[in-house]
Structure 1
Amino acid sequence: MQRPLGAQISHMLKSRGVDVIFGIPGVHNVEMYRGIEEAGITHVLARHEQGAGFMADGYSRATGKPGVCYLITGPGLCNAMTPLGQAYSDSVSVLAVTSCLDNVTGKRGQLHQMLDQRAAAGTVCEWSEEARDPETAYRLVDRALTGFASKRKRSCHIQVPIQSLGAMADAAPEAAQLPGLPKASSEDMRALVDRVLAAQKPIFVFGGGALGGAEVINDVLRMTGAAAFCTYAGRGLVSAKYPLYFGSFLARPDSASVFAEADLVVAMGTELSECDIWRDDLGHTAPMIRVDIDPEILAQARPGDVPILGDVGAVLKAMAVAIPARVDDRAPCWDVQKVAATKARWRAEVMTERPGIVEVAEALKAALPDDCMIYSDMTQFAYAAKEVWDMPRAGYWHHPYGFGTLGYALPAAIGGAVARRALPTLSILGDYGFQYTVQDLGTAVELGLSLPIIIWDNGKLAEIEESMIQSQIAPNAVVAQNPDFLALARAYGAGAVEPKSLEEMQQAVLAAFDAPVPTVIRVTPGVL
């Protein structure tokens, strides 16, 4: 049947598996809201478009499905450009659908007018396109969903003119089968296995792109006797009990000396970006085998390296089958005691650099169930925890790694909690970052989410203060007047508690998982 195009887009998304949309309605995009309930989609009302984008991001990270947000012309899109940039940076499938003005060349002074809205979104998305007719709109939706399924996930933006949204349109065509990720060739697989088994001291680096092979990674390591690191996004892929696991300490400067010992480096599903290693290069002199679905990453190969285009999960599963056919489990290729001593030294460095955080992190970890999904913000607590906290499961700690925005954790955790209604979700953020998106606490209360929200309240921008001191700059503009966070939480209708010991913190978090509304838990350094 015919419906206005705005309604047909919602029906199309539902037919493609979209169950939740995050957003804020407005006078320009009201036609996009005509078909949401009719299509059977749940809409989550954010308190700011930035929150809607982060909620879509958090939902996608929790489910592996696309996160969709509906936004209004002009400022609505602009408000969401930070989360769209974050999703692009961290390989998250977020689709933003917005309204746009019908004519921006012959008219000026219109409500929500921008010089070039499509181009603005294109600076933070993989692509940004305009659909002026139903066929183009449907084609762009399928283009986004196909890209999410078959290559590196990135944010995408579709804008539809206001008049087009209200015009009658036929329904979208039936969904076609989505393609899969690229597969490594048999020649590449043989070369990979041959090189790994020939190496005397191989070392693997696993990133977030290796999640599809999580169930076989520890078997592959045991069979090859290789050492391993994980990036922050890859934590949980390697068991903390594996004796040759160096942890997620890639950013420790002298991890470069570990890689200098290797005669083969295998990087799987990782950019090895600045935010992974915080130096110019990994430190290796040996050849590198790099497995990734992104040709741009593989183009960074040096002479002698072996780039392999393919789905890392499928590659790891093939290795788990091929290697036992060639060899029995190999003895450790690295010194087990040296690996343990190196990890202990790096952990001690974190404790020295960020006093008091590791002890709180360990107490929190001990209290959480293994299936708790964590969303953290740009805060010193998270910076320390990302190095020392070995996750029991891969893909269960989410952080704004690449773009590095404040204000991510609360709305992203709301998106994750919406996706995981019966499962525990936790938000960790600093006192400054909480105030970026505090208004979305209203959304969490409205939804009745049992969400613990830990605020690491050191009363200032402590990381920036330390950076100024290290740069021999007198600290300035790093202390701000904080509100009474507990009173603010209660004003929204949330729970509020301020534990005075590690045990009270643990009890508060566990109680919050069963509470009928979110609970703000203020943690003050030096008090616990």
Structure 2
Amino acid sequence: MTQTRPLGAQISHMLKDRGVDVIFGIPGVHNQEMYRGIEEAGITHVLARHEQGAGFMADGYARATGKPGVAYVITGPGLTNIMTPMGQAYSDSVPMLVISSCLDETASTNGQLHQMKDQRAAAETVCDWSEEARTAQAAYALIDRALMEFDTRRARPKHVQVPIHLLEADAAAPPPVANQELAGDMKRDELAVSRIVDVLKSAQKPVMVLGGGATTGASLYPKLAEAVGAAVFTSYAGRGIMPPRHPLYFGASLARPESARVLNSADLVLVVGCELAEVDMWRAELGSDAPVIRLDIDPVVLATHQRTQDRVILGEAYEIMRAVLDDAAGHVPATGWKPEDIAQTRDHWRAEVDAERPGIVPVCDALRDCLPDGTMIYSDMTQFAYTAKEVWDMDRPGYWHHPTGFGTLGYATPAAIGGAVARKGKPTMAIIGDYGFHYTMQELGVAVELGLPLPIILWDNGKLKEIEESMVRAQIAPNAIVARNPDFCKLAEAFGANAAAPKTLSEMQTTVRTAFDADGPTLIYLTPEISQTT
């Protein structure tokens, strides 16, 4: 006999059956039925201090595991509070499933607790889709739809809302997990493969631009670059695809103005899994007059920056590019790129970054050199991260996560908590600025509660310095850029966290190493003055 339970409990059991082990959220009177089944289903729940924190934790968990991050929130303000993380996940192609309660009726009744004019429509502005389940079967179908789309399409957040009375009502068990071989269903486009191979083999000075969509099967790209003699740029999301200081690698340097000149010297540009968005290049166009081939899973991306002479290929990058490498094997590589010229250009661009934000590069170098192997990093909107993304080479992809695109402050601390929950026993670290820390500092309590050995690098330059410099460039007298900060170390200690304020780079390195072995989070307070010491 099929077991019946309140639908709220059935949803948790369904998620567990489909591989969900952790849910982030905050219970309330409107979604308490969703909490009835969590412990019984064997799911770990992480109690955030704010729904924004819950969303960023789900984001960080998803980026660390590749599995969807799931969050439970209440009607109205719970949903609006998590919309910022949903918008960030949408920008960065992160699989996140937000399940909320909603009021049973709003058209003829006013003044209800947490009432909104149109909650479903509000959520839809920051996610792939937002739907209301009006039956138990609809709730199950929408959840399965979301999970299937995470596996088969560009991953982006989804929202399902369920009326309160439906969550409380008994429902039959959800359908069993479908037996599907989704990964094997992706067909290889042989025509696309042959086109790419033909132009790569005929090019004398090819360039590959690799984005976050190329991180699956990343090891094939260095081999392909060597096989055809292609120089390589990566986006920030593509860092780690190419080994550090590979002789054909220009780095994550698309944002360098001079990269347009380098790209324009190529006779072919192959763009794989990269949007070529403003936040990738900080200019309107790639800058190359050479023929461009773009390979992406998203047709919207392929329609952007398109020129009549370009070729666009809709498909899954790994399957196609693996075949390209197979066909290119044994080809005599082009010799249009000289490794010594690439190395010299990279050194020149590194010096530019150091001159633009003085003193940060040495701190980046010292911090990188003291991290244990396999450290996963979550960064925030701060000058430290802006610098690091250009000069800090990664030895593997998918290990540095940044709020690109939507560009929200306060991301790093809760996202790193989500990552640390996913990576028990593995090193995880957050990098955040003083102002961004204010946005989600309360989530430090979650890291303490869970006993996470999480170093949080807090870079305090005493102001919104990036905004100050932008105002100066725009000939605006800088104002509203300085906020009074607390004593961050005492604040961390008040939460029960460890805290340290190293004065030298060597002391910083010792502190960071110790933090990875601590019994809870450690806030490591740094100021620009540390770069002047050793």
Q: TM-score, normalised by structure 1?
A: 0.98
Q: Secondary structure at the match of 1:436?
A: helix
> Conserved in 2, the CA contact under 8 Å of 1:182 and 1:309?
no
Cα displacement string for residues 463-511 of structure 1 (whole angstroms, at most 9, x for unaligned residues) = 0011111111111000000000000000000000000100111111110
1:296 to 269, 294, 300: 300
Cα displacement string for residues 96-117 of structure 1 (whole angstroms, at most 9, x for unaligned residues) = 0000000101100000000000
CA distance in structure 1 between the aligned counterparts of 2:187 and 2:219, rounded to whole angstroms: 19
In the alignment, structure 1 residue 202 sits paired with structure 2 residue 202: no
1:362 to 361, 365, 372: 365
- Partner of 1:397 in structure 2? 400
In the alignment, structure 1 residue 251 sits paired with structure 2 residue 255: yes
> Conserved in 2, the CA contact under 8 Å of 1:72 and 1:99?
yes
CA distance in structure 1 between the aligned counterparts of 2:509 and 2:181, rounded to whole angstroms: 44
Which AA in structure 2 matches 1:14? K
In the alignment, structure 1 residue 322 sits paired with structure 2 residue 327: yes
Cα displacement string for residues 173-212 of structure 1 (whole angstroms, at most 9, x for unaligned residues) = 0112263474441111111111111111110000011011
- Partner of 2:233 in structure 1? 229
CA distance in structure 1 between the aligned counterparts of 2:240 and 2:530, rounded to whole angstroms: 30
- Partner of 1:280 in structure 2? 284
Distance 1:221 1:338, change over 3 A: same
CA distance in structure 2 between the aligned counterparts of 1:128 and 1:418, rounded to whole angstroms: 27
Distance 1:178 1:162, change over 3 A: farther
- Partner of 1:497 in structure 2? 500
CA distance in structure 1 between the aligned counterparts of 2:291 and 2:10, rounded to whole angstroms: 52
CA distance in structure 2 between the aligned counterparts of 1:10 and 1:36, rounded to whole angstroms: 6
Which AA in structure 2 matches 1:471? A
CA distance in structure 2 between the aligned counterparts of 1:199 and 1:329, rounded to whole angstroms: 11
- Partner of 1:260 in structure 2? 264
> Conserved in 1, the CA contact under 8 Å of 2:204 and 2:334?
no
Q: Secondary structure at the match of 2:148?
A: helix
Q: How does 1:334-353 map to 2 (within 5 A)?
A: 334-353=337-356
Cα displacement string for residues 413-442 of structure 1 (whole angstroms, at most 9, x for unaligned residues) = 000000001100000000000010000000
- Partner of 2:95 in structure 1? 93
Which AA in structure 2 matches 1:129? E
CA distance in structure 2 between the aligned counterparts of 1:314 and 1:420, rounded to whole angstroms: 28
- Partner of 1:133 in structure 2? 135
- Gap regions ≥5 residues in structure 2: none
> Conserved in 1, the CA contact under 8 Å of 2:208 and 2:230?
yes
CA distance in structure 1 between the aligned counterparts of 2:188 and 2:471, rounded to whole angstroms: 47
Quote the offset at 1:216 in angstroms.
1.2
2:245 to 220, 224, 241: 241
Cα displacement string for residues 108-128 of structure 1 (whole angstroms, at most 9, x for unaligned residues) = 000000000000000001000
1:432 to 421, 426, 435: 435
Indicate the larger mover: 173-182 or 185-194.
173-182
- Partner of 2:476 in structure 1? 473
Which AA in structure 2 matches 1:60? A
> Conserved in 1, the CA contact under 8 Å of 2:296 and 2:317?
yes
> Conserved in 1, the CA contact under 8 Å of 2:505 and 2:530?
no
1:158 to 157, 160, 185: 160
> Conserved in 2, the CA contact under 8 Å of 1:237 and 1:393?
yes
Which AA in structure 1 matches 2:457? I
CA distance in structure 1 between the aligned counterparts of 2:234 and 2:370, rounded to whole angstroms: 24
Quote the offset at 1:136 in angstroms.
0.3
> Conserved in 1, the CA contact under 8 Å of 2:204 and 2:335?
no
Q: How does 1:433-472 map to 2 (within 5 A)?
A: 433-472=436-475
- Partner of 1:270 in structure 2? 274
CA distance in structure 1 between the aligned counterparts of 2:409 and 2:213, rounded to whole angstroms: 24
Quote the offset at 1:329 in angstroms.
4.8
Q: Secondary structure at the match of 2:250?
A: coil
> Conserved in 1, the CA contact under 8 Å of 2:209 and 2:233?
yes
Quote the offset at 1:331 in angstroms.
4.9
1:77 to 66, 76, 79: 79
Distance 1:55 1:61, change over 3 A: same
- Partner of 1:169 in structure 2? 171
CA distance in structure 2 between the aligned counterparts of 1:317 and 1:178, rounded to whole angstroms: 20
- Partner of 1:309 in structure 2? 314
CA distance in structure 1 between the aligned counterparts of 2:335 and 2:79, rounded to whole angstroms: 53
> Conserved in 1, the CA contact under 8 Å of 2:221 and 2:242?
yes
Q: TM-score, normalised by structure 2?
A: 0.97
In the alignment, structure 1 residue 384 sits paired with structure 2 residue 403: no
> Conserved in 2, the CA contact under 8 Å of 1:84 and 1:155?
yes
> Conserved in 2, the CA contact under 8 Å of 1:222 and 1:329?
no
- Partner of 1:414 in structure 2? 417
CA distance in structure 2 between the aligned counterparts of 1:329 and 1:413, rounded to whole angstroms: 45
Quote the offset at 1:369 in angstroms.
2.0
Cα displacement string for residues 382-440 of structure 1 (whole angstroms, at most 9, x for unaligned residues) = 00000000001110000000100000000000000000011000000000000100000
Cα displacement string for residues 77-97 of structure 1 (whole angstroms, at most 9, x for unaligned residues) = 000000000000000000000
- Partner of 2:53 in structure 1? 51
Cα displacement string for residues 318-357 of structure 1 (whole angstroms, at most 9, x for unaligned residues) = 2222211xx3452533122221111111110000000000
> Conserved in 2, the CA contact under 8 Å of 1:370 and 1:393?
no
CA distance in structure 2 between the aligned counterparts of 1:477 and 1:178, rounded to whole angstroms: 55
Which AA in structure 1 matches 2:248? L
Q: Secondary structure at the match of 2:192?
A: helix
2:113 to 111, 114, 135: 111
Quote the offset at 1:527 in angstroms.
2.9
In the alignment, structure 1 residue 186 sits paired with structure 2 residue 194: no
1:64 to 66, 86, 110: 66
> Conserved in 1, the CA contact under 8 Å of 2:371 and 2:513?
yes
Give the fraction of aligned pairs with identical amino acids, expressed as a percent. Answer: 62
Which AA in structure 2 matches 1:317? R
> Conserved in 1, the CA contact under 8 Å of 2:455 and 2:522?
yes
2:8 to 6, 9, 12: 6
